[in-house]
Amino acid sequence: MGSYIKWILLLAVLNVLMFYGYKFGISASIFMIPLLILIYVFLKKNNKINNKKGLLLMIPILLLSISYGIFDSNVFDVFNCIVIIILFELLYIFTIKPVDKLNVLIEEVFSLLVMPITYIGNFYRVSVSKISSKIKISPKTKKVLLSCLIVLPVVLVVVLLLSSADLIFGNLFDNIFGNIFDVLEEFIFNNFLGRLLRFVIIFFIIGISLMYVLFEYPKKKDIIISENKKTRDVFTIKLLVSVLNIIYIVFDIIQIKSLMLHSVSSNINYAEYARQGFFELLIVSIINIAIILISKKFETKDNEKDYKFINIMNILMIFLTMIIIISSFLRMNLYESAYGYTTLRLLVYIALITETILMIPTAMYIFNSNVNILKCYMIIIICSYVLTNYINIDYMVARRNVNRYYINNKIDMEYLINFGYDNIPVLYELYNKTDDVNIKEGLREYFKSMTNNENDSIFEFNISKYKAMKLLKEEFK
């Protein structure tokens, strides 16, 4: 482990230099490339690569980090950090010891997130030993430095306490050392200590993660998964899928008549009827997938006849769920037509499309339990998420809202002014085309505020921001 300390140190330094005080930009991919190389070399040299296909997860990790330098979405800037961390955990799991059970996968992800903390002490000792062996300092000098590290903090604390306890002593202290402390506070407390803290955190996060993978993952004993046959009566499952399908048939008939044939009761406002329920239907369709997967857990050779019936019901449920998804899609479309377009509403479309694709492996799984449903779901969901990052949602939302404004002269600026740069070209076009004085004035002030946010750091470079600033800076700077 000691041979990797210098590389972990360099990565921690690189992280501080590029990210401390800066927004993510091309810096994200610059940092991610050497980190992925380190992980690959670490896994290979320690004979941890048992499934080379698991290394393919490096592709979505790299693509998501590259997206920080292309787009400027406030939503994905946060979510991508979380997703990248999860993808790193999945990279370790599927490269070292692949799993095909969802409950085992969740357990392994949680273990890789939490258990490395137990290696803080071990990693600290290895680091100190490795670093001290490289630094040629006499024992006497080491003793003096150690004494200073102990004495100085104690002296500072005592002086601060005495200054607070006695006003005269405090004023005297301020007069003598005031200017010095102002400089030190700006340089050390507001700058150096913040960078040092980030360096230490990143250094230990990378280090303890690698040490845990080296010594503890996978554990010496294999994860024991119960293979006991499900002996429970399948009557409950048969009853559940049968009753749900009856309910869905009735519900889907109503959907077809109301949303697709535009046939509703005379005392119901069609527009208001259609503009609700899409989130609920999205959740219902997810529940249906869960029920299908759970029902397969009860399948054994002893209940094949019962399972023929359950499989038929499950296929029927998939068909009825597709109608529910279409209904949710239509409701969202009608809602947007009336109230405009937002990032959340566009994400609902993407979720519905992803869910529709998920139905394909689900149907295959119903007829063949050997289909690796977990792997199929992971591939579809990861690909969907990465593609979502690259479709430039903020631009699409702005474009659709502005096009809607050109048609019916209705626009809600709250959906467009999000202090991101992806939608600036569309808003600039609107600024030049609109005759509405209020919209023009609002956009003018918004553009001025955006040009004032310009930062010259190369680490924050972002293609979307670069194009926007090039468009705005001459007129609104």
Mean pLDDT of 64-77: 89
pLDDT at 417 over 70: yes
Q: Which pLDDT band holds residue 210 (cuts at 50, 70, 90)?
A: very high
pLDDT band with cut points at 50, 70 and 90 for residue 408 = confident
The 10 Å Cβ neighbour count of residue 442 is 16
Mean pLDDT of all residues belonging to the chain? 80
Share of the chain above pLDDT 90, in %: 26
pLDDT band, very low/low/confident/very high, at 177 (cuts 50, 70, 90): low
Q: Give 289-327 pLDDT, tens digit per residue.
A: 888 888 877 776 666 777 788 888 889 989 988 888 888
Given a contact cutoff of 8 angstroms between Cβ atoms, the answer to whether 207 and 123 are in contact is: yes
At 443-453, the pLDDT tens digits run 988 888 888 76
Cα-Cα-Cα-Cα dihedral sign, residues 363, 368, 373, 375: negative
So what's the pLDDT on residue 239?
A: 82
pLDDT at 40: 94
% of the chain residues with pLDDT over 70: 78
Q: What is the pLDDT of residue 193?
A: 67
218 upstream amide cis, omega within 30 of 0: yes
Which is more confident, 63 or 107? 63
C-alpha closest to that of 416 among 405, 427, 428, 425:
427
How many Å apart are CA 217 and CA 82, to the nearest integer?
Answer: 22
Residue 166 tokens, joined: 């006695």
- What is the DSSP code string of 427-450? HHHHHHH---HHHHHHHHHHHHHH
For residues 160, 163, 164 and 169, what is the CA-based torsion angle, rounded to 10 degrees? 170
**Letter for the amino acid at 200?**
V
Residue bearing tokens 């670069």: 466
Q: What is the pLDDT of residue 100?
A: 80
The average pLDDT across 391-404 equals: 91
More confident residue, 297 or 80: 80
pLDDT at 221 over 50: no
| CB contact at 8 A, 451 and 473 | yes
> Terminal CA-to-CA distance of the chain, rounded, Å?
52
**262 Rama class: left (phi>0) / alpha (psi -120 to 50) / beta:** left
**Residue with tokens 């409701």, as numbered in its chain:** 331
Which carries the bigger pLDDT value, residue 399 or residue 459?
399
Q: Give the max Cα distance, the chain.
A: 94
The Cα-based distances of 243 to 59, 289, 311, 363 in angstroms read 44, 16, 15, 20
Using CA atoms, how far apart are residues 150 and 191, in angstroms rounded to an integer? 22
- Alpha-carbon distance 17 to 19, whole Å? 6
**Residue 121 pLDDT exceeds 50:** yes
* Chain segment 242-277, per-residue pLDDT in tens: 888 888 888 888 778 776 656 555 555 555 555 566
How many helices (H) and strands (E) are present in the chain, helices listed first?
19, 0
Give the angle subtended at the CA of 332 by the CAs of 330 and 333, to the nearest 5°. Answer: 65
Tell me, rounded to whole angstroms, the distance of Cα 137 from its chain centroid: 45
Nearest to 262 by CA among 251, 248, 274: 274
CB atoms within 10 A of CB 330: 16
pLDDT value of residue 166: 47
Among residues 197, 217, 234, the alpha carbon closest in space to that of 43 is found at 217
**Residue 333, phi then psi, degrees to nearest 5:** -60, -45
